[in-house]
A and B are shown apart, each in its own frame.
Chain A
Amino acid sequence: MFSSKKWIQKSYYQIALTFFLVIFFVFSIVFSLGSGQAEISLIDVFQILLYKFSGGVLGNIADIEQAVVNIIWFVRTPRVLMSIFVGLGLATSGAIMQAVVQNPLADPYILGISSGASLGATFAIMIGFGSASIFSQLNLSLSAFIGALLATFCVLFLSNIGGRMTSTKLVLSGTIINSIFSSFSSLIIYLADDAEGIKSVTFWSMGSLASASWSKLPLLIVVTLVISVFFASQFRILNTMLLGDEAAVTLGISLGKYRRIYMIIASLLTGLIVANSGMIGFVGLIIPHIVRGIYGSDHKKLVPMCGFIGAFF
């Protein structure tokens, strides 16, 4: 099919690399389960996972301490799973955002999602539900999510003013909304005069997976997977998107509509992730570039591989 030798070599190289990455992926999961404040041997980790996933049929945890089992199962496994899907989601929506605004500097937070979510979270922490109950945890996530969506819709509204939505307008209005929302957050923090609250806002905005628990996972996993599969299926349109509006029209695709749809969906995904884990930087920006370096810009490979490599982090 491909006559050029160079091409064939390159795709062998890619396959080999992918294979290596899969192995490394599995290994890193097990390793991160085992390491931490309490060192747990890999064999024990394996036994516990086997036991739990098979519902007690396989594996033998009789001679492992109950505390160890709990650490693995209730603390570390959710965190690892969460980090996998957070990474997957961030990298995917980063790749999408870069295509949508045709700008290599774009990341999932470009549309003001980050500052929107921060504002939501700040609002939640400072005004009202700042206590440590589970109810407030949920509320924190929820209001961060709402803030993110609010910011996204503001950006969409702004960039629609004056006719056609262009990628320049999108980036500009994203920046504007970003500054407006973050200055509101600052205002709330300034007026609040609540040292404990300020601390938790700062902690939240640093991003953390510490809050992971089994109850939060199903929603995150399902949404992330569904959206990632959806984007992976859109590779043709995403590819033409990189060429710009003019060229896309000549290839029979008018981008305006798709741009809006993709942006809303990617924002939903990012909003959900931010709500769960706070702001985790750079994954959404850098992973798509790393993957492009290895596999090229074709979204057919780019989107799945972004998700996969993003899942490492």
Chain B
Amino acid sequence: MSLDIQNLHVKLGKKEIIHDLSLSMNTNQFVGIIGANGSGKSTLLKTIYKSLTPAKGRIYFDGLDILHTPAKKVSQKLGVVGQFNELSFDFTVFQMVLLGRTPHKKLLESDTKEDFAIVEQALAKMGLTSFKNESFLSLSGGEKQRVILARVLAKQPEFMILDEPTNHLDIRYQLEMMESVKKLGIGVLVALHDLQLAANYCDYLYAMKDGAIVAFGTPENLFTQDLIEDLYGIKCSIYKNPMTDKIAFHYYL
């Protein structure tokens, strides 16, 4: 399976956020997008999952023309974990995850035993079974994020998009979040701020700056001091951590 984006232009108001972006990626792997705040990462992801409509361009997922397919059909295939988890009304965790079944349902169809089983599985996978009847709003940030991930799992997507999923999470939850996503074994496209996480978990990386892709490659090939200075405007030394044998970063101004 693959995700192909051709000559994408996205405008927010009058400002062009993404300018003539094209990429073609294999969606059976863990792909990361890095870049500074305002570089267009979220905008790109939002356009892919149809929350924003681009001015020009085409997006194909597995041959499916996403921009001209109803949201319901797209959402059966794409799972999204975004940054929008605030609610004014409360749901229980179970109901919240059950909402993940929505795209597979007709308007008047009621939830079947199968749906409940899928939800139970998703909860178990995220270690949330004991939280099932808690209210969503009473949970901590990390737990909320896991509920959202469980909701995406309940959808049984073929491909997952995550927009800075580790925001507001402490170190343990950051690692747990990445581990559980990695373990799912489906393709993932994730926007990340933490370069260390990106280097550790991603198979392939795209670097964005000013609405365009400036570099791509495997973490080993992509990360250079010049690139990081170009993206974030900081100095950085990149070295192999002698303890873990993985890429490590040391930043300074």
Contact = CB atoms under 8 A, between A and B. Distances in A.
Given A104-B88, A252-B103, A297-B91, A246 B132 contact: no
B81 to A, nearest CB: 9
B27 interface: no
A243 B87 contact: yes
B116 to A, nearest CB: 6
Contact of A233 (B80, B108, B120): B108
A43 to B, nearest CB: 43
A249 B50 contact: yes
Contact of A242 (B70, B88, B113): B88
Contacts of B86: 244
B99 A297 contact: no
A296 B91 contact: yes
A19 to B, nearest CB: 22
A296 B80 contact: no
Interface in B105-148: 105, 107-108, 110, 113, 116, 120, 132-133
Given A236-B107, A246-B51, 10 more contacts: A4-B132, A7-B94, A104-B89, A234-B107, A242-B91, A252-B76, A252-B102, A253-B102, A296-B92, A297-B95
B246 interface: no
Contacts of B51: 245-246, 249-250
B89 A10 contact: no
A169 interface: no
A214 B95 CA distance: 43
A6 B134 CA distance: 10
Contacts of B55: none
A221 to B, nearest CB: 24
Nearest to B109: A236
Contacts of A1: 113, 116
Interface in A255-299: 292, 296-298
Given A4-B132, A234-B107, A296-B95, A250 B75 contact: yes
A102 interface: yes
B92 A247 contact: no
19 contacts: A4-B133, A104-B88, A104-B89, A234-B107, A236-B107, A240-B99, A242-B88, A242-B89, A243-B99, A244-B84, A244-B86, A246-B51, A246-B82, A249-B50, A252-B75, A253-B71, A253-B102, A296-B91, A298-B91
A257 to B, nearest CB: 11
A166 interface: no
B233 to A, nearest CB: 30
Interface of B: 46, 49-51, 70-76, 78-80, 82, 84, 86-92, 94-95, 99-100, 102-103, 105, 107-108, 110, 113, 116, 120, 132-133, 155
B88 A236 contact: no
Contacts of A298: 91, 95
Contacts, number: 91
A98 B116 CA distance: 27
B90 A297 contact: yes
A171 B144 CA distance: 28
A239 B99 contact: yes
Nearest to A288: B89
B88 A250 contact: no
A2 B76 CA distance: 25
A213 interface: no
Contacts of B46: 246
B100 to A, nearest CB: 7
A253 B73 CA distance: 10
B78 A250 contact: yes
Contact of B133 (A6, A102, A234): A6
A236 B84 contact: no
Contacts of A245: 51
B72 A252 contact: yes
Contacts of B113: 1
5 closest residue pairs by CB, A with B: A252-B75, A252-B72, A252-B103, A250-B80, A246-B84
Interface string A67-105: 000000000000000000000000000000011001110
A251 interface: yes
B44 to A, nearest CB: 15
A250 B82 contact: yes
A137 interface: no
B84 to A, nearest CB: 4
Contacts of A292: 89-90
Contacts of A296: 90-92, 95
Nearest to B81: A250
A254 interface: yes
Contacts of A300: 110
